[in-house]
Amino acid sequence: MAKRIFVTATNTDIGKTYTSVKLLKEFAAQGLRVAAIKPVETGVIDGVYLDGAMLLHTIKELNPECADLSIEDVVPISYELPAAPYIASKGEPFDFAKVDVAIAKLEEICDVLIIEGAGGLYVPVDGTFMIVDLISYFQANTLLVTHCSLGCINDTLLSLQTLKNKGLAHVFAFNCRAEDSSFSTISEPFFLNNKYDVFKVSKDIDTICELLYNL
């Protein structure tokens, strides 16, 4: 089994795919064969996979053994409606077997597998499982990506508490954007004063990768 790293976030549009690509490039730079999967993607309209296509392009670029992969290998389950999988699928059970087959295929050609979630930890996958349950099922180490705007303290702590309660090995990192220049004064002091490691996706990806690989 490859080293599995599950990329989740405090909400949607936080930067999971951006971060996943950064992880893939860093691990590849270390000489490791990389691959990625997004088990389920919603909002796939007219065959356009916004997240999956980026992941597929990246792993083909970084790992020659991924050259013949198709988008269905990287995104085995997809729906048109841009909503939680439970809603987009109209409540149908999540097809774990289909994803397991896709992962097995990818793990034949990689040392590190990045698994990208959908939305945040409590996004419903079906009537029984949430995204957080997939992390346990896939036995993956977790990277929680969080934002740097006002409210990130609450959002980050809630997600971290969930990971802790579930006993999931994890690292968290901030994806700060150009408009988040106030982070250093309105939110970062809390984390620093409370002895949290403040890793930023943009500049600490090497450290983040090392920690995730060795959890």
For residue 145, the domain's CATH number is 3.40.50.300
Give the mean model confidence (pLDDT) for residues 132-157.
98
Q: Residues 2, 209, 34, 44: is their CA dihedral positive or negative?
A: positive
**Domain count across the chain:** 1
Q: Which residues are catalytic?
A: 38
pLDDT of residue 104: 98
Give the mean model confidence (pLDDT) for residues 21-30.
98
User: Domain range holding 16?
Assistant: 3-214
Q: Give percent above pLDDT 70 in the chain.
A: 100
pLDDT of residue 196: 98
Asked if the model's pLDDT at residue 138 lies above 90, the reply is: yes
Q: At 177, is the pLDDT very low, low, confident or very high (cuts 50, 70, 90)? A: very high
* This model's pTM is above 0.95: yes
Tens digits of residue pLDDT in 84-106: 999 999 999 999 999 999 999 99
What's the rounded Cα separation, in Å, for the pair 83 and 184?
33
Please, what's the b/e burial string for 104-135 (b: 16 or more CB within 10 A of its CB; e: otherwise)?
eebbebbbbbbbbbbbbbebbbbeebbbbbbb
Asked if the model's pLDDT at residue 1 lies above 90, the reply is: no
List Cα–Cα distances, 26 to 35, 36, 87, in angstroms: 12, 13, 35
Where are the alpha helices (H) located in the chain, listed in sequence order? Answer: 16-29, 50-62, 71-74, 85-88, 96-107, 131-138, 152-165, 183-186, 188-193, 205-214
For residue 12, the Cα-to-chain-centroid distance in whole angstroms is 11
What is the rounded (10 degree) CA torsion for 140, 83, 69, 173? -40
Q: How many CB atoms lie within 10 A of CB 208?
A: 24
Give the mean model confidence (pLDDT) for residues 166-191.
96
Asked if the model's pLDDT at residue 134 lies above 90, the reply is: yes
| Residues ≥6 apart with Cβ < 8 Å to 160 | 144, 170, 172
Give the mean model confidence (pLDDT) for residues 62-74.
98
Average pLDDT, rounded, for the chain: 97
pLDDT of residue 150: 96
